[in-house]
């Protein structure tokens, strides 16, 4: 799919991997709806980027809010060709600790946002995409999800996070197969350790130590590198039903 003149919805688009993806899309002639929480930087970012970006505030777990955001994007730009799911949360807690078992609501919340929220956006975006006129290859849309290498190498305290991201990996192929008949692709990126706002809160020595664990390059991944892979997925019609690790050959130790 050509990015030029295409319309994308990017969840978590106001910061980190999502913001880098929005900037990449606009730099290549696309338009983007920044879907993020109302209290995020989304409105300011949309104003900075100009007429080819809008802010569509929504909680990804809410059917009504995501539907409204997609309706707003379609109203502004005509349709949706691309959806990139970058919204997500983390929670570090052991299954059982000295204070007792992990509260079930913490596990449920991570699953709700990372997995159910991703699927909620997928199904509603795909419903719009299937109305598009197909390209010469018969393509109507592209879905890109964000998992994590924690889906494969979950560390101590990552049961909830790993389960949510493992779910994203697990549904990638079935969704690609579900949507093949209408020409919509589904691909997932599994990033390693990236320099995002979540890690920005750590002290610099700790950030450097995390980067040093990566075989090559021995540094934190850059959001622009995630966006570069997203661009390739959009433009390469044969990429479908796959999860791609983006981790510098990192395999996470137990802790």
Of 55, 77, 107, 161, which residue is the catalytic one? Answer: 161
Question: In angstroms, rounded to a whole number, what is the distance separating the alpha carbons of residues 100 and 225?
Answer: 40
Q: How far lies 19's CA from each of 11, 46, 49, 141, 243, in Å?
A: 9, 10, 11, 20, 21
232: which 2 tokens?
A: 């390739």
Active site residue 226: no
Q: How far lies 170's CA from each of 112, 156, 166, in Å?
A: 16, 21, 6
Asked if residues 32 and 234 have their Cβ atoms less than 8 Å apart, the reply is no
Q: How far lies 62's CA from each of 65, 82, 124, in Å?
A: 5, 20, 11
Any idea which residues carry the catalytic annotation?
Answer: 161
């Amino acid at each position: 799919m050509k990015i030029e003149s295409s319309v994308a919805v990017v969840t978590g688009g106001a910061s980190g991997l999502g913001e880098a993806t929005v900037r990449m899309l606009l730099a290549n002639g696309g338009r983007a709806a920044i879907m993020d929480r109302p209290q995020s930087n989304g409105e300011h970012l949309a104003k900075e980027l100009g007429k080819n970006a809008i802010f569509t505030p929504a909680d990804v777990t809410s059917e009504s809010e995501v539907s409204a955001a997609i309706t707003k994007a379609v109203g502004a730009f005509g349709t949706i060709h691309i959806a990139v799911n970058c919204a997500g949360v983390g929670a570090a807690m052991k299954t059982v600790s000295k204070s007792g078992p992990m509260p079930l609501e913490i596990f449920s919340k991570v699953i709700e946002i990372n997995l159910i929220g991703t699927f909620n956006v997928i199904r509603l975006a795909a419903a719009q995409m299937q109305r598009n006129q197909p390209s010469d290859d018969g393509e109507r849309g592209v879905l890109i999800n964000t998992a994590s290498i924690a889906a494969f190498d979950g560390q101590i305290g990552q049961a909830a996070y790993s389960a949510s991201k493992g779910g994203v990996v697990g549904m990638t192929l079935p969704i690609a197969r579900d949507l093949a008949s209408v020409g919509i692709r589904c691909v997932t990126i599994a990033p390693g350790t990236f320099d995002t706002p979540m890690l920005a809160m750590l002290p610099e020595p700790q950030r450097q130590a995390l980067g040093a664990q990566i075989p090559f390059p021995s540094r934190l991944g850059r959001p622009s590198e995630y966006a570069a892979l997203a661009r390739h997925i959009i433009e390469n019609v044969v990429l479908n039903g796959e999860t791609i690790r983006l981790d510098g050959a990192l395999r996470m130790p137990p802790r």
